[in-house]
Structures are given as structure tokens and as C-alpha cells.
Structure 1
Amino acid sequence: MPELSTTVKQKPLVEEQMISPWREGWKNFKKNKVALIGLFIVVFFILIAILANYIAPYGFNEQQFKDKHLPPSAKHWFGTDDFGRDIFSRVIFGARISLSVGFGSVVGSAIIGSFLGIIAGYYGKWLDAIISRIFDILLAFPSILLAIAIVAMLGQSLQNALIAIAIINVPTFGRLLRARVLSVKEEEYITAAKAIGMKDSRILLHHVLPNSLAPIIVQGSLAIATAIIEAAGLGFLGLGAQPPTPEWGKMLSDSKDFIIQAPWTVFFPGIAIMLTVLGFNLMGDGLRDALDPRMKN
């Protein structure tokens, strides 16, 4: 009976000691006010993208030629463009396009880059040499020029722009995971797993990958901001979204000739890009400070 009471008393102590690093990371993240502002901005634009059909007062391609280039007013909060389309509605629907490209391209590049980086770092030798040289070749080109070349080969479309952005970001995730795996695979628990005959696939999935998720999440949040800018750049050049898709970069391109006559046609899509990128950058910096043990005091 005394032994039972001792066990019961020790259980809460054990539970307190088993603090999840993710819970601790979230606790540290909440202390960063600037990062919370970034999270609020990101959540705000995500909700706008999800609820675009209910928020937008007009269709994104609803044209009223008699109302073209109207300044901001109670009827058209952000004014209208050269086709009489409501810019507020187009900016709202543009959030859906830009965020889809940002998230989609980063998820694709993170999966491919992480896989190649883990293989290169864990097995090394000739596999590491080949994969690392592929990364070096991709990084040798300016990212926007490489994206332009890929889209030029695949064809001008939003889907091809997404593929191009995913490809140019693969080396970033690959080299990050390779460096992480080179460190993790020298840990004692990896050596112990090999000693008891655990398969490489299980070691990678159950030990190496879980201990490498933090840098992937941090890099992913920062990469989304970069992907949105790259998608806007391709759209501005006419290589991304095609008319009448309300992509923010394409909206800037379509309005550049009216910057003096109707500056609001450029101002509001530009502000949307700036705020979204700022939100992801602030959130990414906060995640880095919260999840990276080296940043803790």
C-alpha cells in the first residue's frame, strides 16, 4: 500500500518534467509581441482569402466601363481600375491567389528539398556529392532569372509559376536539412538505434526528421514571404497569372501606365503585398527565436 501511494505522488512530477518542446516554443513565441503582430497579419489575410466570396462586394471580374478609374469612395473603397472593376474585391480575391502560390510552392520545395537533404546528409559519399552539386548549380543562378527561364520553358501560367518558385527554393531547404542531419546523426541515440539493428528508413522517419522539423518550420514561414514576392514579380512580367486572374503582381503590371492618373490602382495591391510579406517575416523571426535553442537566454 505505501508503494502505491509513492507511485501516485511521483506521477505528476514525471508529467511536469515531460514538457513538450513545441509547447515551450509556443510559450516563448507568445512573449514576442512583434511576432504576435506578424501572426495576426498572416491570420487576417488567410481569413480574407478563405472568406473572399462573402467579403468582396463585387466579382473580381465584374466590369462597369462607365465607372473606370473612380477614386476611393463609399461605393468602391479602393476605387476602380481601367475596366471599371472594383479594386477592393480584386485585392481580396488576390489574397487567395498569392497565398495559394506561396503555401503551395513552399510545401513542394520543402518536401523535395528535405528529402534530398536528408538523403545527402545521412548517407553521404557519392550521394551527397551529386545532390550537393545539383544544389550548387541551382544556387548559381539568380532566383528570379531561374524562375523566368523555367516559366519560359513550361509556358506562361499561374501553375507553372508555382512550379518554378518551388524549384528555385529546393536548394534552400535541402542544404538546411543536410546540415541539420550531419549534426543529428552523430548523436548517441542514433548510434544506439543503429546498434540494435533499426532500419535506416525508421531512423530517418522516427528520429532524424522529428528532430529537424524546427528549422523547416522557421525556413518555411520565411520562404512563403519570398515566394509571394517572386510570384508577384513573375505576374508583373506577365509570366505568372494571366488576365483576368486578380493576382497582386499582375494588378500592378496592369496599372503601371495609370500610376499618375489613378495612383490608387497601384497603391492598394502594393500595400497588400507589403503587409503580407511583412507578416510572414515577423512571424518567421519569432518562430526562429522561439524554436532555436541558441537564441534563448
Structure 2
Amino acid sequence: MTTTLTKAAQPLARRPLHPYRAALATARGRTGLALVGLVVLAGLLAPLLSGHGPTDQSALALAGPGTPGHPLGTDDLGRDLLTRLLYGIRADLGIIAVAVPLGAVLGCLFALAAAAHPIADTVVQRTFDLILAFPGLILALAITAVLGPGRLPVIIVIALAEIPVFGRLLRTGILVQSGREYVTAARVGGTSGGRILTRHILPNAADPLVVQFAVSLTVAVFIEGAMSFLGVGVRPPEPTLGAVLSQSMPYLAQAPHFAAGPLVTVTALVLGLSLTAEALNREIRR
């Protein structure tokens, strides 16, 4: 009876947090999520946060911050900078939200094909080598030369850049897990190869992919910004962060506020994604 009461009086042990939840509960994780969430929320609420259209022009060219009706000022064509910044965030988020998952899915499919047969593995590895042989800028220029500037070339370039990254990461994970004792035991027990792959190997090989996904979102922000900065990205006058920054370059001396908005936004987004990726990586490696 005494033993029963003692056990009943003991506090229930707290269940350990899932590694991803635990990572996002750290100071790095919370800070990263807050920064990313703030930028994403600003982009999603763009129509509500601004009373102007992204292409609406006025007579107030290069007006400074605090101008009535233009909190961040205007650009060289009199367009409201806050509006263009908010809609630029929205355009960037739309691009990377399609391109990075597309690259991740295709890369993982290539890795699964490589795991199926040695010949397929050789073909896949040479395909990855071919993609990686082209520097990102050359690849962007080549695709833009064929398709012309726009959203689609940016999405294709980002997806192509991520395919070998995710493919090789998952292929390595599959090879490592395939040599573990639990896989050998499952084979000896008569478990089919497909079931071993889907129920045992892939769940244990997936953690690095989550970290890489956060890193790839950061890379995608830079790729989109670089392509728009060079004029081979989204067509003007549609705003993106890279396009607004590129447009501000001739006016840095007389209107530094022009470049401040996109620079601060890109920094916050990249820093938030980097902190989130680092928090996930630290927790997974424990």
C-alpha cells in the first residue's frame, strides 16, 4: 500500500520534446522563427498594410522617409517604397515556396532511383555532376536566354541548384543507414527491401534533409536577389527585393533610404532562416 501511494505521489515524468520542437524552443530557434515570421507576415498582409499599389506613381520622386502617405519614402519614379518592399517580399516568398520544395522532391526522387540499382546510381551521380559543373550565374543566364526573364526561370534555376544537394544528402543517408545493424536484422527477419527502405531507412535519413531545407531557403533568397539585381529575374515593374535593391544603386549618395528597406529585409530573412537551421542542426546532432 505504501509503495502504491509513493508511486502515485510522484510527479509524472515529462515526455521529451520532439527534436524539431526542442530545437525551435531554444533561443536561436525562437529568434529565427520570430524574424522569419515577421517578414512572412509582412508579405502576406501587403494589401492590408499599404494603401498604394506596387506600380502606382506620384510626383514625389525620391521623397525621404516620413513623407505624408509614404512612411519609407518613394523611389525614383515616385512609387511608394513601403508598398514595393511588402509586395517584393510577397513575390520572393512565392518563388522560394515553389522552387525549394520542387528541388527537394526531385533530388530525393533521384536519390531513391540511385538506391534502386548500381547503374541508376551511376547515371544519377553523373547527372548531378553535370548540374554542378555550371556555376549558378552561368546557369541563370543560360536559362534566361532561352526562356526570357520572369518567375519561371528563377524557379527553374533555384530548383536545379537544389536537386544535387538534396539528392546527394539523401543518397549518403541511405548508404549509411543501410549498413546499420537494425537493417541487417530486418533483412534476416525476412522484411522486404521496400518496407525496410520506407519504414526504417528513410525516417532515420530524413533529419539532415530538414536542416538542409532551411539552409536552401536562405540560398534561394540570394539566388532570386542576384538574378533580379542583374536584371534576369522577375520582369519589371513587378517588385522583388533584388529588383528594388538594384534600382536603388544609382541613388545611394542622394537617397540612401532607397536601399535600406530591401537590405534590412533580406538581412532579417536570411538571419532568421540561418538561426533556425543552426538550431535544428544542433538539436539533431545531439
Alignment match, 1:171: 164
How far the C-alpha of 1:108 sits from its partner, in A, is: 0.6
How far the C-alpha of 1:196 sits from its partner, in A, is: 5.0
Which range moves more in the overlay, 70-79 or 281-290?
Answer: 70-79
1:145 to 138, 142, 167: 138
Say which SS state the counterpart of residue 161 (structure 1) adopts. Answer: helix
TM-score, L = length of structure 2: 0.88
In structure 1, C-alpha distance between the alignment counterparts of 2:245 and 2:218, rounded to whole Å: 18
1:1-297 mapped onto 2 (5 Å cutoff): 23-31=18-26, 33-64=27-58, 66-73=59-66, 74-120=68-114, 122-292=115-285, 296=286
Tell whether the 8 Å contact from 2:170 to 2:206 is kept in structure 1 after alignment.
no
Tell whether the 8 Å contact from 2:39 to 2:268 is kept in structure 1 after alignment.
no
How far the C-alpha of 1:90 sits from its partner, in A, is: 0.9
Give 4+ residue runs of structure 1 displaced > 4 Å after superposition.
Answer: 195-199
Say which SS state the counterpart of residue 67 (structure 1) adopts. Answer: coil
Tell whether the 8 Å contact from 2:39 to 2:89 is kept in structure 1 after alignment.
yes
CA RMSD of aligned residues (A): 2.6
Tell whether the 8 Å contact from 2:24 to 2:33 is kept in structure 1 after alignment.
no
Tell whether the 8 Å contact from 1:102 to 1:225 is kept in structure 2 after alignment.
no
Alignment match, 1:3: none
Tell whether the 8 Å contact from 1:29 to 1:290 is kept in structure 2 after alignment.
no
Tell whether the 8 Å contact from 1:218 to 1:287 is kept in structure 2 after alignment.
yes
TM-score, L = length of structure 1: 0.85
**Count of residue pairs the alignment pairs up:** 280
Which range moves more in the overlay, 86-95 or 34-43?
Answer: 34-43
In structure 1, C-alpha distance between the alignment counterparts of 2:188 and 2:48, rounded to whole Å: 58
Tell whether the 8 Å contact from 1:248 to 1:273 is kept in structure 2 after alignment.
yes
Unaligned stretches of 5+ residues in structure 2: none
In structure 2, C-alpha distance between the alignment counterparts of 1:100 and 1:112, rounded to whole Å: 19
In structure 2, C-alpha distance between the alignment counterparts of 1:113 and 1:233, rounded to whole Å: 23
Say which SS state the counterpart of residue 18 (structure 2) adopts. Answer: helix
In structure 2, C-alpha distance between the alignment counterparts of 1:24 and 1:236, rounded to whole Å: 38
Tell whether the 8 Å contact from 1:147 to 1:168 is kept in structure 2 after alignment.
no
In structure 2, C-alpha distance between the alignment counterparts of 1:51 and 1:228, rounded to whole Å: 20
In structure 1, C-alpha distance between the alignment counterparts of 2:72 and 2:140, rounded to whole Å: 31
Which range moves more in the overlay, 166-175 or 131-140?
Answer: 131-140
In structure 2, C-alpha distance between the alignment counterparts of 1:240 and 1:132, rounded to whole Å: 29
How far the C-alpha of 1:55 sits from its partner, in A, is: 1.3
Paired amino acid for 1:78? L
In structure 2, C-alpha distance between the alignment counterparts of 1:256 and 1:224, rounded to whole Å: 25
Say which SS state the counterpart of residue 69 (structure 2) adopts. Answer: coil
Tell whether the 8 Å contact from 1:252 to 1:270 is kept in structure 2 after alignment.
yes
Cα deviations across residues 240-287 of structure 1 (Å, max 9, x unaligned)? 111121101111222222222322222211221121111111111111
Alignment match, 1:12: none
Instruction: Give identity over the alignment, percent.
Output: 33
Say which SS state the counterpart of residue 75 (structure 2) adopts. Answer: coil
Unaligned stretches of 5+ residues in structure 1: 1-5, 10-14
How far the C-alpha of 1:113 sits from its partner, in A, is: 0.7
Paired amino acid for 2:39? F
Call closer, same or farther: CA 1:244–1:200 in 2, change over 3 Å. Answer: farther
